[in-house]
Amino acid sequence: MAVMFRAKKMRKSEWDDKNVEAVVQLKRYSYAKIKKMTNSLAHLLGKGGYGTVYKGKLLDDGRDVAVKILKQSQGNGEEFINEVASLSRTSHVNIVSLLGFCYERNKRAIIYEFMPNGSLDKFISENISVKMEWERLYDIAVGVSRGLEYLHNGCVSRIVHFDIKPQNILLDKDLCPKISDFGLAKLCKNKESIMSMLDARGTAGYIAPEVFSKNFGGVSHKSDVYSYGMVVLEMIGARNIEKVEHSGSNNSSMYFPDWIYKDFEREEIMRIFGDRITEEEEKIARKMVLVGLWCIQTNPSHRPAMIKVIEMLEGTLEALQVPPKPLLCLPATTVPETVEDSNETSSFSWPSQFERGTVIGEDTLHISEEDIVQCSSS
């Protein structure tokens, strides 16, 4: 806990070598060694809003690793220290393991375990046209829920991730999901429920409503619950995107939990999954729909805590009730492709499936409350 307060109280000018090593007690590598272990950044794994990831090998034991090189425009390094400090105090099967870091002038890198099956969004997109087991999707959903529960209640300090999305869920060789990318994470005392935030943080399409407008409630660990619910619903929607796109009643350009809920109300939710779904698979699909809809309730207090989410997923379908329809209405506007490079006031909407991914960080998106259509959350 003392480490957390020391990190939070430092001013922007104080992120020097000595302070970094005091906060992050992990193996530190020079940038020259980073270049060597990645073969001069030869094998690109992916790019994100905060950096580029390369495949590499540890110099001492040859183990495969992923190396994230942060953008040089990362300011004073607060995002970097946030991620390294957050990951360094975690240890869970569903949280990616941090193995080291580099902090050398404006060169910053994070070294973590290599995930051979990539990210969840990549896994889903590659398996849309083939038979993907519902049991596998269910196991992934349960694994992510356990990882989030650990972050919220299992750590010395509660960690709120603020950027849960398929791109930040990695899959190991056994398809075990691991939460990654803690660049936007916030740490707080375990007893604290409401957090103070100045700006919206997260990714368009997954960010909880209270994060960008206090009129929806207080920002807390329940904001991660909302993002998790959107991920679960996307796993269901993405599994059947081809059927959805050719369905007259289900326009894929609309806010997709809305059509999922409407079909569920009409007892038609299984229709988009085809005739080959088994009775057991239908139960799994229905359970995931119900849990996802509970998680995206507009009022944060109406969402279950992650421990309850695990209980719902592992319990019986009969024990689950249909949640109220989320009463969040937003204007039909478009999120800029590069929000992070804009300082202008931007309106906000939920992109449809596979159109999400825009990272919203501090000082990057300012949403006028006049742009938000307020709906009752009672």
User: What amino acid positions are annotated as catalytic residues?
Assistant: 163
Contact 268, 114 (CB under 8 A): no
Number of helices and strands in the chain (H, E): 12, 11
Instruction: Report d(CA 361, CA 201) in Å as an integer.
Output: 5
Q: How far, in Å, are 120, 185, 226, 260, 341 from residue 362 at the CA level?
A: 25, 12, 19, 32, 12
Q: Which residues of 313-347 are buried (b: 16+ CB within 10 A; e: fewer)?
A: beeeeeebeebeebebebeeeebeeebbeeeeebb
Tokens at residue 156, please?
């010395």
Cα–Cα distance measured from residue 241 to residue 239, given in angstroms and rounded to the nearest whole number:
6
Q: What is the 3-state secondary structure (H, E, C) of 108-162?
A: EEEEEECCCCCEHHHHHHHCCCCCCCHHHHHHHHHHHHHHHHHHHHHCCCEEECC
* Pairing relationship of beta strands 169-171 and 177-179 according to DSSP bridges: antiparallel
CA 311 to each of CA 72, 147, 284, 287, 306: distance values in angstroms, whole numbers, following the listed order:
43, 14, 14, 12, 9
Are the C-beta atoms of residues 312 and 291 closer than 8 Å to each other?
Answer: yes
> Known binder of ligand: residue 68?
yes
DSSP of 274-338: -S---HHHHHHHHHHHHHHHHHT-SSGGGSPPHHHHHHHHHS-GGGPPPPPPP--B--S----TT
DSSP bridge pairs for 175: none
Instruction: Write the single-letter amino acid at 119.
Output: S
| CA atoms within 13 A of residue 359's CA, in its CB half-sphere | 19
What is the H or E stretch that residue 254 is in? none
Point out the annotated binding site for ATP: 68
Point out the annotated binding site: 68
